[in-house]
Amino acid sequence: MASTDTEDANAYELLGVTLESTEAEIRTAYRQRSLKVHPDRNRGNPDAARKFHELNQAYELLLDPLRRMALDAKMRVKEARKTRFAQYDAKRKNLVEELEERERAFKKARVGKEAETKARMQENERIMEEGRRLREERERELRQKAAEVREAEKTVNADLEPPTLGALDTTVRVKFPLSSHPDLVTPSSLSAFLSHFGTLDEQSIVLSLKPAPPKKPKRVTALVPFKQIGGAFAVICASGRAQSGLADVEVDWAEGKEPDLIRWLKKIGKLSTTGQNGAIPQPTEQDTSNLPPASATPSATAPPRSSGTTPAPTSSSTSTSFSSFPSTFPDLDTPSTAPSVGLDTPGLDYESLTLMRLRQAERERLEREIREREAAEGD
């Protein structure tokens, strides 16, 4: 299809023919012209390809009857206009030229206005896209800040809420040479020895002497469960201190690490390990106020101690002098809403029974590990 540029350039002029030329004359003129402007014969001319393309477009236009008819009509009108314009006087020619100039200016203004409108629409779309992008970024920042606030609230709540008490968090491992404490060879004597630190679960105490004939046992290892974690923490703080009656006695947590509840209390500043001059710190009213209680693990009730047990060493401190644990944590000796885990308790629920069995299995595992470690040391 011939373009507007080809029609304006006049296909007849490109081929060198007239309106009355036949198709044979047009073909002959095309062959002659194409040999002159072909790119293969004009390799040094950068316009050769363009001229050859225009020649082909003009040739196709003139061989199409309908398109040639439209072009002929257009050229006849143009020629008639030129003829009429040549017959006008000077004044009328000026009027026609002025009118044509106005038409060209109007057309130019219309094209410019359309271009301006298109540019304004593109600018509006760009501004809308930029606004949408800024709005999305703002919303994303707000969502991120909201997520950070929620995460900070979770962290604060996690710091404020105490962790749950583990099955062995109230149990300590006690080691001492038998030569320094020859009477501490039974659970009852050991319970009486440590009773001033807190109430113990005497029935759950595990002692390991491991006699190895002909040698006598040199050290005693025991797992001692307290009713409250405060008593376990107190005896940990008093480990190896002569003023506390624990000279030559090593005390550590049964699991070998500090319970989460103790770490949490230290983190919030409610608990410290030592006070001034190395004394065991005492809980203050500020430490114990508004402190949430921890869930204590139930244990079997210890039977009354017999009068034949080894008496506890005398000390100028009372039982509270060793307690540096907040007093708001529950005492397992007092009745509570938690289910009892005694073996002979009627109506024992499944959760309490499972917890009791887990504690018993953990103690048996620890006792077995202690015996194996002592056997390895004895060898």
Three-class SS string for 260-321? Answer: HHHHHHHHCCCCCCCCHHHCCCCCCHHHHCCCCCCCCCCCCCCCCCCCCCCCCCCCCCCHHH
How many CB atoms lie under 10 A from the CB of residue 172? 25
- Cα separation, 225 vs 201, whole angstroms: 6
Cβ partners under 8 Å of residue 224, min gap 6: 171, 172, 173, 174, 190, 191, 194, 200, 205, 235
Q: What pLDDT, on a 0 to 100 scale, did the predictor assign at position 119?
A: 92
Please give the pLDDT value at position 303.
Answer: 38
DSSP state of 44: T
Query: pLDDT value at position 325?
Result: 47
Per-residue pLDDT reduced to its tens digit, 236-263 = 888 888 887 787 888 989 888 888 888 8
User: Rounded to an integer, what distance in angstroms lies between the CA atom of residue 105 and that of residue 98?
Assistant: 10
Place of tokens 């039977």: 303
Position 281 scores a pLDDT of 47
Cis peptide before 346 (omega within 30 of 0): no
Q: For tokens 């009068």, what's the residue?
A: 307
Which residues of the chain are modeled with pLDDT < 50? 1-8, 275-348
- This prediction has a pTM of 0.38
Which pLDDT score, from 0 to 100, does residue 133 have? 93
Q: What pLDDT was estimated at residue 46?
A: 86
pLDDT for position 331 = 43
Under 8 Å between Cβ of 325 and 271 = yes
Gyration radius (Cα) of the chain, Å = 53
